Chains A and B, each alone.
Chain A
Amino acid sequence: MLLSGNEAIAWGFRDAGGHFAAAYPGTPSTEILEAIAPFPEVYAQWSPNEKAAFESAFGASLAGARVLVAMKHVGLNVAADPLFTSVYTGINGGMVIVSADDPSMHSSQNEQDNRNYAAFAKLPLLEPSDPQECYDFVGIALELSEKYDIPVLLRTETRLSHGKARVETRDGRNEVPLRDPDLRWDKYVMMPINARPRRVDLARRLAALHEFSETGGLNRIEPGDKKVGIISSGVSYMYAREVFPSASYLKLGMSYPFPEKLVRAFADEILGAGGIIYIVEELDPFIEMRVKALGIPCKGKDLLPEIGEFSPEIIRSAIRGERLETKPLSGAPSRPPNLCPGCPHTSVFFHLNRLKANVFGDIGCYTLGALPPLSSIHTCVCMGASVTNAFGFAKVRGGEEAKKTFAVLGDSTFFHMGIPGLMEMVYNKGVNTLIVLDNRTTAMTGHQVHPGSGRTLKGEETTALLPERIAEAMGIDHVQVIDPYDMRGVRDALKKAMEHEGPSVIVTRRACVLLPEERKRWEALPKFVVLEERCAGEKCHLCLRLGCPAIFVSGGKAKIDRTLCTSCSLCAQVCPRTYNAIFPEDQLAEVSHA
């Protein structure tokens, strides 16, 4: 089978007898749960956030299940609280925590190296290098977890999670019965009287894992030319193997606890033959620091970058000082991602920009509202931060400045971590406004259901939570629910919220244009066209301020790309009455004759 690293993790979990999987979507980890969901043998769910996913999986482990919890690197920050203590308590059914890191921040706000969590929280770290190892390592992680009574961290990176390769799977699932439930209070109630002995026990378990790291086979020496000895892990190992096929390798599949004896043995061979040791690892010098702590001379971050993902050419030029001949050409226009044609968030950002509002953004497609021409978002830090950032800002500035302070976040992000912020706004007497851009899905990560969807990951019907009812239940008396395709309605709602003395909530509700049922709806509609003779051209160009990718300029006049238009009508609504130049194409004949 050709599987991505994420899909291979899903198959590995299913085949290793996994029972319970939970996650919150986040690039590049999302497809793990999407690939597990269709397996009838495995229960799988989207949780409201990573902390909830982690804790539910932990509970399932105590019930005797083999569990998996998956998240992107920053998701583990959210789940860090249970992580650090679950290592003390240990588990019952095997528990694997997948952290999918995103070097180069392809779709993330930072590029933290989550290998550090293994050393920080003190749990074993597995680092697969290709989808086959993703598949194999999940099973190994569950075995280790049960044998050593500890959760296991499995770390991937974007190029591994989203890279596809051939994977050999075992012949069917290894059916593992649930263990008996384990609720020993002295093991799981982490009050000091129990936590202190568990801390000591953790040291014992780590020492045993250290021994496994030396001899368990996940870390191995691959002999080759002794002039170049490379210590590497993860996808970096694959780049190195490509560029230096004949070098000697110490391939680390388990880099914490760190296999010091094996490293020494490798170093003796290489240095004894007059060779040089290179540490090839993306991001932080996690391996390099530990090699250097052994007093072993090596080259690493002095040659290779500590920032951004690697590539074969980066490794070649860093180690060999050579570059292959290339013929790059200039002239490709910059093409950053943008809100889609017909994106229901567009109108909100258009008006926030015109109102010169202070806008605190959040994590999702709508972060793109920061880019020109919408240029309306001023911050984006982490999940849910919009609400509390806006509250703090408004608290200090007060007065009119506070009233024109808005927090903007999506429906899924609202459920993830926006709700505590709302409590902050109410309890501490905020006067700012929270806008929930409710497009009925978790759009950026590829349209996952969430607590507002009325459906679970497994496709079952369930209670659908409504942000406006949550706001009302919290005591906010100024709540507006509007259609973001109504330009004037959006402007009016923003103005009303600004005038209101006290916390205010606006829910803009319209489904993402990329959802299949939405696509069906708009594909049946007539596309919009610009009547060239009516378009005022450069002296207006108001429609261009929507930043719609379907609208471009040709011969000074606005034009609409038919292949991209989703018939949202926003451009026709912003086109000034005096020109009135944009129409659905089925009205064109009557309009041009008028």
Chain B
Amino acid sequence: MRETMNILVSGVGGQGVVLASEIISAAALEAGYDVKQSEVHGMAQRGGSVVSHVRFGPKVFSPLVEQGTGHLLLSFEKSETLRWTGFLNPAEGVIVMNTQEIIPVTVSQGLSEYPHDAVERLVSAGFRTVALDALALAREAGTERAVNIVLVGAASPFMRLDEDLLRKVIAERVPPKYRELNLKAFELGLAASRR
């Protein structure tokens, strides 16, 4: 791989976006690449919109993906996907997204509308989009909290990383008693994405 791989991971604070990015970064590091990862902490994470940038390749300078150069948008929440498409390369960019809806307080208050048809909008805009119900798959694996691992699994065919490296990093990162559960979550995501 000669070019830098550009990934955005988006979602809502508390969903495990940062942990997913760390897994991807750690796998890229194992693969021998230079890696940069960036996100913001603090107030930005209190239930607000969250995005993490992950870049890897032979030599990476900027910690941020430049708009129009993203190869993959991995989105943890349906409506959040719409917010970040400007970062994708319009021709090559792939979207892997969770269809889970987390209704923001602004919608509950009638201040904005929730785009239930986000998947259709993305597809009709011409983006190659893989949409899956990662929450259901996480429950199938054994816990709703494995949503992030399901999504890493679903994104793995599009990351130019060896899937076994990702499995290895996940196995190392989670507590031993949750290892099987998380590896199952990874496989369920991967299978859903290949369908």
- Find A162's partner among B40, B80, B126 (CB 8 Å cutoff): B40
Separation of A326 and B47 alpha carbons in the complex (Å): 28
Decide if A312 touches B79 in the complex (CB within 8 Å).
no
Decide if B66 touches A243 in the complex (CB within 8 Å).
yes
Decide if B83 touches A326 in the complex (CB within 8 Å).
no
Chain B residues closer than 8 Å to A365, beta-carbon distance: 43, 46
- CB-CB contacts of A526-559 with B at 8 A, as 1s and 0s? 0000000000000000001001110111000000
- CB-CB contacts of A140-167 with B at 8 A, as 1s and 0s? 0000000000000000001110111110
Give, as a whole number of angstroms, the nearest-CB distance from B100 to chain A. Answer: 8
Separation of A553 and B47 alpha carbons in the complex (Å): 18
Decide if A549 touches B105 in the complex (CB within 8 Å).
yes
Summed over the interface, the residue pairs from A and B with CB atoms below 8 Å come to a total of: 200
Chain A residues numbered 395-453 whose CB sits less than 8 Å from any CB in chain B:
444-446
Chain A residues closer than 8 Å to B60, beta-carbon distance: 165
Asked whether A329 and B82 contact (CB < 8 A) given A162-B39, A238-B62, A338-B48, the answer is yes
Asked whether A316 and B66 contact (CB < 8 A) given A242-B61, A329-B85, the answer is yes
- Find A166's partner among B22, B29, B44, B79 (CB 8 Å cutoff): B29
> Does A335 lie at the interface of the complex (its beta carbon under 8 Å from any beta carbon of B)?
yes
Chain B residues closer than 8 Å to A373, beta-carbon distance: 105, 109
Decide if A325 touches B68 in the complex (CB within 8 Å).
yes
Q: Which residue of B lies closest to A4 (CB)?
A: B37
Q: Which residue of B lies closest to A5 (CB)?
A: B63
Separation of A349 and B87 alpha carbons in the complex (Å): 38
Query: What count of chain A residues pass the 8 Å CB interface test?
Result: 63
Asked whether A563 and B106 contact (CB < 8 A) given A242-B61, A313-B66, the answer is no
Chain A residues numbered 505-544 whose CB sits less than 8 Å from any CB in chain B:
544
Chain A residues numbered 25-71 whose CB sits less than 8 Å from any CB in chain B:
27-28, 30-31
- CB-CB contacts of B1-35 with A at 8 A, as 1s and 0s? 00000000000111000000010011001000011
Chain B residues closer than 8 Å to A107, beta-carbon distance: 40-44
Decide if B69 touches A338 in the complex (CB within 8 Å).
no
Decide if B43 touches A335 in the complex (CB within 8 Å).
no
Decide if A334 touches B106 in the complex (CB within 8 Å).
yes
Asked whether A335 and B122 contact (CB < 8 A) given A166-B29, A238-B62, A552-B107, the answer is no
- Find B38's partner among A2, A164, A327 (CB 8 Å cutoff): A164
Chain A residues numbered 230-267 whose CB sits less than 8 Å from any CB in chain B:
235, 238-239, 241-243
Decide if B111 touches A372 in the complex (CB within 8 Å).
yes
Decide if A333 touches B44 in the complex (CB within 8 Å).
no
Chain B residues closer than 8 Å to A160, beta-carbon distance: 63
Chain B residues closer than 8 Å to A287, beta-carbon distance: none
Asked whether A446 and B41 contact (CB < 8 A) given A2-B25, A333-B104, A373-B109, the answer is yes
Decide if A164 touches B37 in the complex (CB within 8 Å).
yes
- CB-CB contacts of A328-358 with B at 8 A, as 1s and 0s? 1111111111111000000000000000000
Decide if B29 touches A340 in the complex (CB within 8 Å).
no
> Does B64 lie at the interface of the complex (its beta carbon under 8 Å from any beta carbon of A)?
yes
- Find A238's partner among B12, B35, B61 (CB 8 Å cutoff): B61
Give, as a whole number of angstroms, the nearest-CB distance from B188 to chain A. Answer: 18
> Does A473 lie at the interface of the complex (its beta carbon under 8 Å from any beta carbon of B)?
no
> Does B151 lie at the interface of the complex (its beta carbon under 8 Å from any beta carbon of A)?
no
Decide if A164 touches B47 in the complex (CB within 8 Å).
no
> Does B191 lie at the interface of the complex (its beta carbon under 8 Å from any beta carbon of A)?
no
Decide if A337 touches B109 in the complex (CB within 8 Å).
no
Asked whether A328 and B85 contact (CB < 8 A) given A107-B43, A164-B25, A444-B43, the answer is yes
Asked whether A329 and B122 contact (CB < 8 A) given A312-B62, A335-B49, A337-B45, the answer is yes
> Does A116 lie at the interface of the complex (its beta carbon under 8 Å from any beta carbon of B)?
no
Q: Which residue of A lies closest to B46 (CB)?
A: A337
Chain A residues closer than 8 Å to B114, beta-carbon distance: 333
> Does B88 lie at the interface of the complex (its beta carbon under 8 Å from any beta carbon of A)?
yes
- Find B26's partner among A2, A332, A334, A561 (CB 8 Å cutoff): A2
Query: What count of chain B residues pass the 8 Å CB interface test?
Result: 64
Chain B residues closer than 8 Å to A552, beta-carbon distance: 103, 107-108
Separation of A394 and B193 alpha carbons in the complex (Å): 61
Separation of A338 and B43 alpha carbons in the complex (Å): 9
Chain A residues closer than 8 Å to B39, beta-carbon distance: 162
> Does A16 lie at the interface of the complex (its beta carbon under 8 Å from any beta carbon of B)?
no
Give, as a whole number of angstroms, the nearest-CB distance from A125 to chain B. Answer: 21
Give, as a whole number of angstroms, the nearest-CB distance from A546 to chain B. Answer: 10
Separation of A2 and B25 alpha carbons in the complex (Å): 8
Chain A residues closer than 8 Å to B36, beta-carbon distance: 130, 163-165
Q: Which residue of B lies closest to A238 (CB)?
A: B61
Decide if A2 touches B62 in the complex (CB within 8 Å).
no
Q: Which residue of A lies closest to B126 (CB)?
A: A327
Separation of A164 and B26 alpha carbons in the complex (Å): 10
Separation of A107 and B48 alpha carbons in the complex (Å): 12
Decide if A166 touches B104 in the complex (CB within 8 Å).
no
Give, as a whole number of angstroms, the nearest-CB distance from A101 to chain B. Answer: 13
> Does B161 lie at the interface of the complex (its beta carbon under 8 Å from any beta carbon of A)?
no
Separation of A444 and B41 alpha carbons in the complex (Å): 9
Interface residues of A (CB under 8 A from B): 2, 27-28, 30-31, 106-107, 130, 158-160, 162-166, 235, 238-239, 241-243, 311-313, 316, 323-340, 365, 367-368, 371-373, 444-446, 544, 547-549, 551-553, 561, 563-564
The 8 closest A-B pairs by CB, nearest first: A107-B42, A27-B42, A324-B68, A328-B86, A337-B48, A332-B83, A312-B66, A242-B62
Interface residues of B (CB under 8 A from A): 12-14, 22, 25-26, 29, 34-49, 60-69, 79-83, 85-88, 90, 102-109, 111-115, 118, 121-122, 125-127, 135, 144
Contacts A238-B62, A335-B49, A340-B14 supplied; 17 other A-B pairs, CB < 8 Å: A27-B43, A31-B41, A107-B40, A165-B36, A166-B34, A312-B64, A327-B86, A329-B122, A331-B121, A333-B79, A333-B114, A335-B12, A335-B48, A367-B43, A372-B105, A548-B105, A563-B135
17 CB contacts below 8 A, A to B, read A30-B41, A106-B42, A107-B40, A107-B41, A159-B38, A159-B63, A164-B25, A329-B85, A329-B122, A329-B125, A333-B79, A336-B105, A338-B105, A446-B41, A446-B42, A551-B108, A552-B108
